[in-house]
Amino acid sequence: MSTKPSTEAFPGYAESQKFWQSALAQSADWMKGQPDVLAKIQAAGEKWMIHRQDDLAKAVEAYKQMCECQDFAKAAAIQQAWFAECTRGLIADWMALINPLEEGMRHQTRPQKEKSITVKRASHETAT
């Protein structure tokens, strides 16, 4: 058994690298043509971060209320209300991120107007 390290390239590495370079190039081309979509995605992403910070602050507040609570059912209700509110906000934020992407994909896949092709019939008159 040899202890010498293998100097062979990773099998399939070159093909994988070509694939990801192609995917990156296509993504970059798509993004260049979608400035309004990217602006909406950026705005939605920023709102998502702010809302998650707010959710964390609400979690701390809910935790404090639950600790002060002497009734387990009331503590569970506080937790459920916090969780439901956070879940609704998370879903709304995901939809705000997905909608511009969907809009951009529809724009990219929309069929281009085809130019009509005019076909002229040839005259087949023969001299007699």
Work out the number of other CB atoms within 10 angstroms of the CB of residue 62.
Answer: 19
Q: For 1-128, list the strands marked E by DSSP.
A: none
SS3 125: coil
Q: Collect all residues with Cβ–Cβ distance below 8 Å to 62 and sequence separation of at least 6.
A: 78, 79, 81, 82
Q: What is the mean pLDDT of residues 70-95?
A: 94
Q: What is the DSSP secondary structure assignment for residue 126, as one 8-state letter?
A: -
| pLDDT computed for residue 22 by the predictor | 87
What is the rounded average pLDDT for all residues in the chain? 80
Residue predicted with more confidence, 103 or 25 = 25
Q: Give the least confident one: 39-43, 60-64, 116-120, 122-126.
A: 122-126
6-54 per-position pLDDT tens digit: 555 566 666 778 888 888 888 787 777 778 888 888 899 999 999 999 9
